[in-house]
Amino acid sequence: MTHFKSLREFNRYVGYMAPKKDLIDVVKYDEFQNLRLKSEPISTDWYMMAFKRNVTGLHCFGSTEFDRDAAFLYFVKPNQVFEWNALEPWKGYHMLISPVLLQEYNIDFSFFQYEIGEALFLTEDEQQQLETLYEQILTEYKKDTYEMDLLIAYSNLIFTYIGKCYKRQFETRQPLYNKVVVDFKKELNSYYAEGNTQLPSVNYFAEKLNLSVNYFGDLIKHHTGKTASELIQEKIIAEAKHQLQGFDKSIAEIGYNLGFEYPTYFSRLFKKHTGVTPSQYRK
């Protein structure tokens, strides 16, 4: 597998022109005629935000297949392995941006950590709006003396708009996402019944449902009004109450069975949620 630490080398590999800077690059696919249609697994040091439109024929990115006319947008994280196999050159835009630059300007959105398969499928209006924003940042980027602050401002505007579009997608694909919520609650309810003795985590359930942690967390919060962590803690307290109704185990044993490394951590969480200690609740 090839890992690209140089933007110049990555662009040469795919078929783009050399970037103007090492920390950010903006590309319009339509301007290049000899794009690499197929790639073995690769990775880079940057975040990539790819907006592709008018997709005809089968396009594969890793294990994800896109075969539709609607535009879509997806993210690739630094060091994430990805590959593609397209039947014909794609149209649209992408931006490569260094984590260093995002950190410097204090920019962070949860969808930066989404997986490729958790793409945003755009409505016609959203597609037109994103094309306008990409054209604006591309125009600034092509200037001989472009302003980095202005590029970052355009980038932040694009990111904010994407966040709004994801909220719309969570609403319009509600039947699919309702199933995720139901499956999560089933997994949560059966967690201790299956003999698990470690504290349940958001990561554990996200992996169970084949979703990235951020996408899973955003989806659960949007559809339940509570974070996944809050729902998990509610389940831990409910299980604790159930076990405290019996007297065959000490409070320390119950804490260990629930996955707490130290009984004091169990007591603190229990009191935080109920207002009383486990001992007081048992009495």
* 254: enclosing H helix or E strand: helix 251-258
Least confident range of 53-62, 201-210, 230-239:
53-62
Coil/strand/helix, residue 211: coil
Q: What is the pTM of this model?
A: 0.81
- Alpha-carbon distance of 166 to 169, in angstroms, equals 5
Residue 158's identity, in one-letter code, is I
In this predicted structure, what is the pLDDT of residue 57?
Answer: 45
In this predicted structure, what is the pLDDT of residue 68?
Answer: 52
Got the DSSP string for 8-65?
HHHHHHHTPPPPS-SSEEEEEGGG-S----EEEEEEESSEEEEEEES--S-EEETTEE
Residue length, the chain?
283
Closest by alpha carbon to 186, among 235, 241, 240?
Answer: 235
Task: Give the pair of three-digit tokens for residue 71.
Answer: 């535009």
Closest by alpha carbon to 8, among 69, 106, 133, 96?
Answer: 96
Please enumerate, as own/partner, the contacts of 183-187 that have beta carbons within 8 Å and a separation of 24 or more.
183/209, 184/209, 184/216, 184/220, 184/228, 184/231, 185/231
Task: Give the pair of three-digit tokens for residue 22.
Answer: 């090492």
Express each pLDDT in 151-190 by its tens digit. Answer: 999 999 999 999 999 999 998 887 778 889 999 999 999 9
Express each pLDDT in 32-56 by its tens digit. Answer: 989 999 999 999 999 999 998 865 5
Least confident range of 63-77, 105-119, 123-137, 162-176:
63-77
161: left (phi over 0), alpha (psi -120 to 50) or beta: alpha
